Amino acid sequence: MRKVLAVTLIGSLVLALLPTMALAGDSHAVRNRWLGAAIGAGSVVLGGILFNAIRGNGPAAAAPVAYPAPQVVAPPPAVYYPAPPVVYAPPPVVEYRTWVPSHYEDRWVPATERQRVWVEGHHENGWWVPGHWEERVRGGGYWTRVWVEGYWR
């Protein structure tokens, strides 16, 4: 079917070009010479294309090849960490215990004393303060000897 269609097309093209080729040889018009040369070149090119299409070994259009985009693989940047500080462990604490024998010790015993005293009437900051009872607290204490049992220190 394809060959019949190609032969029909070539035949009709050649018949259509014959009258224009005859006019191209007109000696009175220079323009027609170039027109004839162009028509002749076009028919040769078109004939070659059709002839190769009939034979079936014409240049096949190559399928476009899509190459993948190049991948850039770079190693991760080097990370440098400073060396850890040098830490020296302190020497172990050695405790030497000694025995303190029993003995007497003087100790302070705190004591407070409350007294109720009479305050005579008097002048204070230009005002008269009548006599009254007042509670007074006196801090203090005393020393005493205490027996202390022996202990480890």
For the record, the structure tokens of 22 come out as 């005859």
The candidate with the shortest Cα–Cα distance to 47, out of 6, 2, 4, is 6
Q: What is the mean pLDDT of the chain?
A: 83
Euclidean distance between CA atoms 147 and 153, whole angstroms:
17
Report the range of poorest mean pLDDT among 10-19, 45-54, 90-99, 143-152: 10-19
pLDDT of residue 70: 86
Does position 147 have pLDDT exceeding 90, yes or no?
yes
Q: What is the pLDDT of residues 28-66, one digit of tens each?
A: 556 666 777 788 888 888 888 877 777 766 556 777 888
